[in-house]
Amino acid sequence: MYDVNYHRASSVEEAASLMSRAEDGKFVAGGQTLIPTMKQRLAAPSDLIDLRHIASMKGIRVEGGKVTIGAATTHAEVAGSADIARVCPGICSLASHIGDPAVRHMGTIGGSIANNDPAADYPAAMMALGADIVTNKRTIAADDFFAGLFETALEDGEIITSVSFSAPVKCAYAKFANPASRYAMAGVFVARFDDGSVRVGVTGAGSDGVFRHKGMEDALTSDWNAGALDGVSVDEGMMLSDIHGDAAYRANLVKVMAKRAVAAAG
């Protein structure tokens, strides 16, 4: 690792100000991707501005069906939240299977979403839940937020402060883990809302990162049943292909995981 200046911000404003003064600054919100990258000398920011200790960015609020999760909330906190579990257990289950215990106690939802690793779990949930990504400047719909591999709508210096979504009637996440990294090779989050509409977010499999699958959403909206997906095709042309599985295999996994998610959601 190269030398770096570490700053622990105590407010969103301070974090933004530190960033504006840094030569080549990076926000760190858990560092579960950034720190290993720096250790391998593949990233060399001049300054790290830590968002994890900003009080206003921490914590979980559930009011009626509205769930708000502070961006600096750890995966372990989401996984263990009884309040969320009551209205949206699927996201607790998702968080409980991210990485390992060390990762879950350091990594945060804001960090994961801002990084937008194409194999990360949270982006699938944000898409399927139609979440709002709230920053220090604006509110961005999940559909507009994720913009390809490791790309988001965030502008320079923009900080995610929280995410919020309306709890669905039913939801679940099914992940097929890469045998080596245990990141998602195909992770599918399905959510059914009180108007009967269904949203399906897919991570890990797409060659352009997280996406919604319209064909599955339509099929499940008309028939909320795993069997309804039998006739739906997953386009191999959209799929990643690597040493762990080719596009045909990933397309198969997307469908299998979607069916398992629907079955788990009940």
Partner 1 sequence: MGMEGIGARVKRKEDQRFITGKGRYTDDFKMAGMHFAAFVRSPHAHARIKGIDKSAAEAMPGVVGVLDGKQLTGDGIGNIICGWMIHSKDGSPMNMGAWSALATEYVRYVGDAAAVVIADTEENARAAAGAVDVDYEVLPAIVDPAATLNAGAPQVHDNAPGNLIYDWEVGTDVKTVDEALANSVHVTEMEIRNNRLIPNAIEPRAALANYDMADDHFTLYTTSQNPHVARLVLSAFYQVAPEHKLRVIAPDVGGGFGSKIFIYPEEIVCLWASKRTGVPVKWTAERTESFLADAHGRDHVTKAWIGFDADNKITGFKIDTIANLGAYMSLFSSSVPTYLYAILMSGQYDIANVHCNVRAVYTNTAPVDAYRGAGRPEATYVVERIMETAARELGVDPAELRRKNFVRSFPHQTPLILCYDAGDYDATLDAALKAADYAGFPARRAEAEKRGKKRGIGLSCYIEACGLAPSAAVGSLGAGVGLWESAEVRVNPVGTVEVLTGAHSHGQGHETTFSQLIAERFGLPTDNVSIVHGDTDKVQFGMGTYGSRSGAVGMSAVVKALDKVEGKARKIAAHLMEADEADIVIENGEVKVAGTDKKLGWHEVCLAAYTAHNLPEGMEPGLKETSFYDPTNFTFPAGSYVCEVEVDPETGVTEVVQFVAADDFGRIINPMIVEGQVHGGVTQGIGQALLEHGIYTEDGQLVTASYMDYAMPRADNVPSYKLSTHETLCPSNPLGVKGCGEAGAIGSPPAVINAITDAIGNNNLSMPATPARVWAAMNG
101 contacts partner 1 (rule: CB under 8 A): no
DSSP secondary structure letter of residue 148: S
Give the residue ranges of DSSP H helices in the chain.
Answer: 12-21, 34-39, 75-79, 82-87, 89-96, 101-106, 109-115, 122-129, 142-145, 214-222, 247-265
How remote is the C-alpha of 192 from its chain's centroid? 18
Q: In the bound complex, what is the minimum distance in angstroms from residue 149's beta carbon to partner 1? A: 15
The pairing of beta strand 5-8 with beta strand 47-50 = parallel
Quick one: which segment of 84-92, 146-154, 179-187, 200-208 binds partner 1 (CB under 8 A)?
179-187
35 contacts partner 1 (rule: CB under 8 A): no
Quick one: which segment of 64-72, 75-83, 164-172, 239-247 binds partner 1 (CB under 8 A)?
239-247
253 contacts partner 1 (rule: CB under 8 A): yes
Q: Which is nearer to partner 1, 24 or 246 (CB)?
A: 246
Q: Can you tell me which of 68, 149, 166, 249 binds partner 1, judged by CB under 8 A?
A: 249
Q: Which is nearer to partner 1, 196 or 227 (CB)?
A: 227
**Residues 37-66 as x/- pattern, contact with partner 1 by CB under 8 A:** ---xx-------------------------
- Using DSSP's 3-state secondary structure scheme, residue 113 falls into helix
Q: In the bound complex, what is the minimum distance in angstroms from residue 186's beta carbon to partner 1? A: 9
| Residue 145 burial (C-beta neighbours within 10 Å; 0-12, 13-18, 19+) | buried
| Residue 39 burial (C-beta neighbours within 10 Å; 0-12, 13-18, 19+) | exposed
- Looking at residues 182 to 221 of the shown chain, list those that interact with partner 1 (rule: CB under 8 A): 183
Which are the contacts of 140, defined by CB distance < 8 A and separation ≥ 6?
132, 133, 134, 153
252 contacts partner 1 (rule: CB under 8 A): yes
Q: Can you tell me which of 23, 155, 156, 180 binds partner 1, judged by CB under 8 A?
A: 180
83 contacts partner 1 (rule: CB under 8 A): no
131 vs 229: CA distance, rounded Å: 24
How remote is the C-alpha of 260 from its chain's centroid? 19
Where does this chain bind partner 1 (CB under 8 A)?
1-3, 40-41, 176, 179-181, 183, 243-246, 248-249, 252-253, 256
